[in-house]
Structure 1
């Protein structure tokens, strides 16, 4: 067995252990209501089992990272599959660090689903080892990407704690406008997460069914001397085409529910790499996510936050805010080093300039400015409670857009990350 094959098995073991850890956390949080004799002891026992399982999963994940590095000959952070698996491992490391500081079992119950979703998201991308392009063959790549991802990992833990806080403080007794608005937006936050799950369900379901659609697309290619020419390339979809690539023709489309052709064409301003296919995937994620949410609401017969809220009543909301703030405060200087300072050093070496207004660079700066504002408003302006929690939630959405959304709408020097 090669190192690459062994690394793939180690990642599968890590993923399964993360799932088991999440189940144990659910038992720790939800099962205490049925443990009449010693509910606190029940939570502590199952919380410990869940945490140990998560740590063992992280060790397996670290084994994946190390063996893939050995097998490929370069640090496995050069494409979306490798970066997302590293980000998952970094989030687990951030969670372990924060857990040892605060010992909060509930934090694991919300962090583990995020870890599982991102790990599953990584599995959507091709996992084959790809040769490094010259710009990526630098030690500064290793330093830049790993530190930026570690900073984002602490932002993810801060997001999880903030989301718990928002659900914890929801007021179901009041019908005032502010209370209804808080309930509505907190529920929408959960719907967005479910849409990400919907993306995974849709992709793996149609892949399992062997679905495929192909288009022939005209693309413009620019030469080094500034001249350009048009060439034809084939774009393959693994989901039924609601939207086709810009300036494309159908090669072959499998029929699905009578859908033999795309409903509309991707707009021209979406010039990111494979923008049409990605937009199609986003639409399917929304559709599938809404279907899953509707089924969950049908089963629960009430908003999802109303299902979760009773399990959080004995948690101090101020403690959750403190956890969120500390996680972001730890992640911010790490992100500053990785996403800005080390990134500019690498840009100077790779492209002979520190800053070039590339879309990824711009959105990394937007992310940094957002969290700078978060820290300023919380420390200097007294933005605490739900206001700081919402900033933590929105901030992580900005992070995810920087990682994924920029490749959909914009093109630039970081387009290789979407391959």
Structure 2
């Protein structure tokens, strides 16, 4: 079918606008992180008056001022609002690309990375919704912006029909499952990285790193976040590998052929399985397990970029010009 160039152009403009708004959201989250006050003392107790008004415990009869919302909290709320606008523009760019090409918009690396980043942001909005975890956006948005920049420059491909090998109903099923799991793995990888930094800061409490880490959630909360997101993404990723094998049998007459993409996908799945096993094993639950989780995310990135762009195989559908 012919390509609607007008819709394709609007898709590109929506993508560029989303990137700019994501950048603004990152600035707000960094400002929130910098404005977070590290509390070292307990708050002054406040009692209630007979009428129900707040009364300061150290000054009986004096009505206490209602607590004002901190600057960091206001910046964080603004950041979330801006982030939602960016995500809407982001999703809009994918919908317009799909309408312009009359197909599902994940037929090349540009589109796949775009979808994966959108899923990562959506997953972050769900798991980082509590104010205590919101400061993590100052770190989680950095890899998203890097990936989107690479997608919009190095990986960009004009709107066009997919190659014949991808003209299958398995394309939206297989790729959507893999992109969802990869987007959630992004959140997990960031959480494990920050967890390791938090542990390092605990051992050296008087360093500049420790002063920065004090603004982050507790190290154990970061570890739990990494574990829970991986638990969600791991079976999805495994299902994506299985669905890919079924598609391979329909397209190439075999379920598995140790193609480079298949091989590294299996390796990444094994690494994440090892992480979940280590997370439940005494002596491996903290530092070692976190390193394994990071290794799994590195393997996922290696599979996405190096295998698609450098290694030749049956999955070489990067769509690069």
> Do both share a fold (TM > 0.5)?
yes
Aligned to 2:260, which of 359, 363, 386? Answer: 359
Aligned to 1:317: 219
Secondary structure at the counterpart of residue 280 of structure 2: helix
Q: Check 1:167–1:40 CA distance in 2 against 1; reply closer, same or farther (3 A cut).
A: farther
1:384 aligns with 2:310: no
Aligned to 2:165: 135
Secondary structure at the counterpart of residue 411 of structure 1: coil
- Gapped regions of structure 2 (runs ≥ 5): 40-66
Aligned to 2:302: 401
**What is the CA RMSD across the aligned residues, in angstroms?**
2.4
Q: Tell me how far apart the structure 1 counterparts of residues 137 and 117 of structure 2 sit (CA, whole Å).
A: 14
Q: Is residue 157–residue 319 contact of structure 2 (8 Å, CA) maintained in 1?
A: no
Q: Tell me how far apart the structure 2 counterparts of residues 412 and 150 of structure 1 sit (CA, whole Å).
A: 24
Q: Which has the higher strand share?
A: 1
Q: Tell me how far apart the structure 1 counterparts of residues 69 and 250 of structure 2 sit (CA, whole Å).
A: 56
Q: Is residue 309–residue 316 contact of structure 2 (8 Å, CA) maintained in 1?
A: no
1:61 aligns with 2:65: no
TM-score, normalization by structure 2 = 0.82
Secondary structure at the counterpart of residue 136 of structure 2: helix
Aligned to 1:160: 190
Shift of 1:164: 1.3
Aligned to 1:97, which of 118, 122, 126? Answer: 126
Q: Check 1:381–1:345 CA distance in 2 against 1; reply closer, same or farther (3 A cut).
A: farther
Shift of 1:138: 0.9
Q: Is residue 3–residue 70 contact of structure 1 (8 Å, CA) maintained in 2?
A: yes
1:22 aligns with 2:51: no
Shift of 1:77: 1.1
Aligned to 2:14: 10
Q: Is residue 32–residue 39 contact of structure 1 (8 Å, CA) maintained in 2?
A: no
Aligned to 1:332: 234
Q: Check 1:135–1:408 CA distance in 2 against 1; reply closer, same or farther (3 A cut).
A: closer
Residue by residue, what CA displacement relative to the aligned partner does 1:52-101 show, whole Å, maximum 9, x if unpaired? Answer: 21111111111111111010111121111111111111111221221236
Q: Check 1:309–1:50 CA distance in 2 against 1; reply closer, same or farther (3 A cut).
A: farther
Q: Tell me how far apart the structure 1 counterparts of residues 237 and 131 of structure 2 sit (CA, whole Å).
A: 22
Q: Check 1:39–1:25 CA distance in 2 against 1; reply closer, same or farther (3 A cut).
A: farther
Q: Check 1:63–1:173 CA distance in 2 against 1; reply closer, same or farther (3 A cut).
A: closer
Q: Tell me how far apart the structure 2 counterparts of residues 161 and 4 of structure 1 sit (CA, whole Å).
A: 35
- Gapped regions of structure 1 (runs ≥ 5): 180-305
Residue by residue, what CA displacement relative to the aligned partner does 1:137-186 show, whole Å, maximum 9, x if unpaired? Answer: 01111111111011011111011111111122214876xxxx9xxxxxxx
Aligned to 1:206: none
